[in-house]
Structure 1
Amino acid sequence: MKLGISELFPGVGRRSGSWSAEAAQLIEEIGYRSVWLPEHVVFFPEYRSQYPYESGGAQEVHKTLGVHDPLVLAGAIAASTTTLRIGTYVFVVPQRNPIVTARQVASVDQLSGGRFEFGVGVGWSEEEYGALDVPFERRGERMNDYLAAMRVLWSEGEISEYRGEFVDFEPLYCFPKPAQARLPIIVGGNSRASLERIVAFGDGWAGYSRTHEDIKVFIGRLEPMMAAAGRSMDELSLKVGRRSKGATEQDWEDDRAYIEEALRLGIDEVVVSPRIGDDHYERDMRRYAEILGL
């Protein structure tokens, strides 16, 4: 059973990095395959933008005060673990300069010995785009251009050059290169544009809060598109995020049932977000993993 864990560090934006490293060491010991780090640069007391997932999630976003920068935290986790894969779930690509992002991601991949996976998305908060002075409109097209440019920057050649609508640079040197020959891009989202992005750039899917029927429909749409592009589904790692509905053992048993069915449907890895607070953190983490069958 391949299991990752996300939102590992509740309230991590107000905690020390050392606490995060200790928690990562714990989940590596327990047997999780990977840790996935969320990203938002800033949060707001209120949102006009519609949160695209369940309404309960929106209320939690509204009261979140912050998280560590995922690439900085990924570097700290890489330095304190040896086998745990590390990824973003998901990094809002259009909000940041792609040359800077490409260099940071490659650096994390090198520091981790090739254990990084780049989960990417377009984001949903117009307020956040506004605070960063980045246009919210056409963010999908901007993201596609940025991903194409980053693939060029990560290529083996010493000199990189790219001409696109949203990013355009003369021949330059961009180092380091990733440790992995092809650094995995895991595409988030459920739309037609997300499907097209997986086919064009992706090495996997990062779904979130999807029912089993949603998963079947998504895979059913993706398979013929991959075939039409001359690509195999075997090239992809399909992941789906599961957030616990509560903090009781029955809720965790429900997580296990969800995971088992998702894997049967063709999902390669389920990324869980258990509701575990600060009190008895290690005890509850071990019990949660025991219920899941790790």
Structure 2
Amino acid sequence: MARVFPEGRLVYGMQLPIQSQSTLYAEPWEAAAGARDLAEIARAADRSGFGYLATCDHVAVPRRLAGPMSTVWYDPVATLSFLAGITEHVRLMSHVAILGLRHPLISAKQYATLDHLSGGRLILGVGAGHVQEEFEVLGVDFARRGAVLDETLDALRAALGPEEYPEFEGGLFSFRDLGQLPRPAQERIPVWVGGSSPAAVRRAAVRGDGWLPQGDPREKLPAQIARIARLRAEAGVTGAFEVGAITEALYVGEPGWDTGRRTLTGKAEVLAESLREYRALGVDQIQVRFRSRDRAELVDQITAFGAEVAPHLND
């Protein structure tokens, strides 16, 4: 597997606002935003050298969780396909797709088409999921979701490969003599596994081409990265592997408003110096998130980061 991004350089990407609106991270202005706002933000990131744009995945949110999670969760394939048509260079990532909710041939059809239409810009980020009712209503065993995801990943390796008639034989899924065109533009779709539980980290190490932590603070990353290296060695897995991290909330410059005590703020050089520590820990790509009060401020932050902070990330 070839790397998505150049080795030895710290790359930056972002989870898009608007498309998921959990109260854990959504800004108040996102509630009234829509497609035009999403498009402007995506274009700004594309112009500013972002490595990827990411979207989340939930099919249906139960009432008991709707307070903290909200029910605003755009479909990742539809959203990324929309963004593919209005951007040129930035990679398009599902962070993360809950693949166990769908038959692997359905996921293969959707993501192969997305990769084909985008000219090979897909990164398939995957995760096991955590909302029990979501699995139950779709007839998927929530208790076995890890095992379901493992086999789904194996099946997708075949279904997203170069063959028009892929073949797979497993305990849950089997298919042959069923053709799917178009094929992905990429020879091999990069699969980055999300999650920080022991099972998720093992899955990333053994089955993934990269790891997407679920909010691990900086001090916990070295042990996790070392565990991945150990698991890969024990399993005899070789080849490129890309480690990610989600940074603290950022604000380029002096905000002049309360951005929260955990937000990194200040001059570009100060922010870059702090973010370079991720590279020293063994991280290949950072997912950044900016505090903002409206779309215009977020676009300004994205632009400032690309112009002022990014040039110093690899000093």
- TM-score tier after normalising by the smaller chain length: 0.7 to 0.9
Deviation of 1:291 after TM superposition, in Å, equals: 6.7
* CA RMSD of superposed structures (Å): 2.7
Residue 252 of structure 1 corresponds to which residue in structure 2? 264
Residue 255 of structure 2 corresponds to which residue in structure 1? none
User: What is the one-letter code of the residue matched to 1:8?
Assistant: P
Q: For the residues of structure 2 that align with 1:116 and 1:192, how far apart are their CA atoms?
A: 26
Q: For the residues of structure 2 that align with 1:199 and 1:250, how far apart are their CA atoms?
A: 30
Structure 1 unaligned regions, length at least 5: 48-59
Residue 290 of structure 2, aligned match among 246, 269, 274? 274
Q: Deviations over 1:175-225 (max 9, x none)?
A: 222111110000011233223322332110011211122111111111122
Contact 1:42-1:66 at 8 Å conserved across structures: no
Structure 2 unaligned regions, length at least 5: 1-9, 22-29, 251-257
Q: CA 1:127/1:250 → structure 2, altered by over 3 Å: closer, same or farther?
A: closer
Residue 54 of structure 1 corresponds to which residue in structure 2? none
DSSP-derived class of the 1:159 partner:
coil
Q: For the residues of structure 2 that align with 1:277 and 1:286, how far apart are their CA atoms?
A: 16
Q: CA 1:133/1:274 → structure 2, altered by over 3 Å: closer, same or farther?
A: farther
Residue 157 of structure 1 corresponds to which residue in structure 2? 163
Q: For the residues of structure 2 that align with 1:286 and 1:212, how far apart are their CA atoms?
A: 25
Deviation of 1:78 after TM superposition, in Å, equals: 0.9
Normalising by structure 2, we get a TM-score of 0.80
Matched, 1:7 2:16: yes
DSSP-derived class of the 1:178 partner:
coil
DSSP-derived class of the 2:85 partner:
helix
Q: CA 1:8/1:257 → structure 2, altered by over 3 Å: closer, same or farther?
A: farther
Q: CA 1:291/1:248 → structure 2, altered by over 3 Å: closer, same or farther?
A: farther
Q: Percent identity?
A: 26
User: What is the one-letter code of the residue matched to 1:212?
Assistant: R
Residue 230 of structure 2, aligned match among 216, 224, 227? 224
Residue 82 of structure 2 corresponds to which residue in structure 1? 76
Residue 51 of structure 1 corresponds to which residue in structure 2? none
Q: For the residues of structure 2 that align with 1:90 and 1:202, how far apart are their CA atoms?
A: 13
Q: For the residues of structure 2 that align with 1:30 and 1:170, how far apart are their CA atoms?
A: 44
DSSP-derived class of the 2:213 partner:
strand
Q: How many residues align?
A: 281
Residue 286 of structure 1 corresponds to which residue in structure 2? 303
Residues 57-206 of structure 1: matches in 2 within 5 Å?
62-206=68-212
Deviation of 1:15 after TM superposition, in Å, equals: 4.6
Deviation of 1:290 after TM superposition, in Å, equals: 5.9
Residue 237 of structure 1 corresponds to which residue in structure 2? 242
Residues 204-219 of structure 1: matches in 2 within 5 Å?
204-219=210-225
Q: CA 1:44/1:288 → structure 2, altered by over 3 Å: closer, same or farther?
A: farther
User: What is the one-letter code of the residue matched to 2:303?
Assistant: R
Deviation of 1:123 after TM superposition, in Å, equals: 0.9
Deviates more, 1:245-254 or 1:96-105: 245-254
User: What is the one-letter code of the residue matched to 1:236?
Assistant: F
User: What is the one-letter code of the residue matched to 2:294?
Assistant: D
Normalising by structure 1, we get a TM-score of 0.85
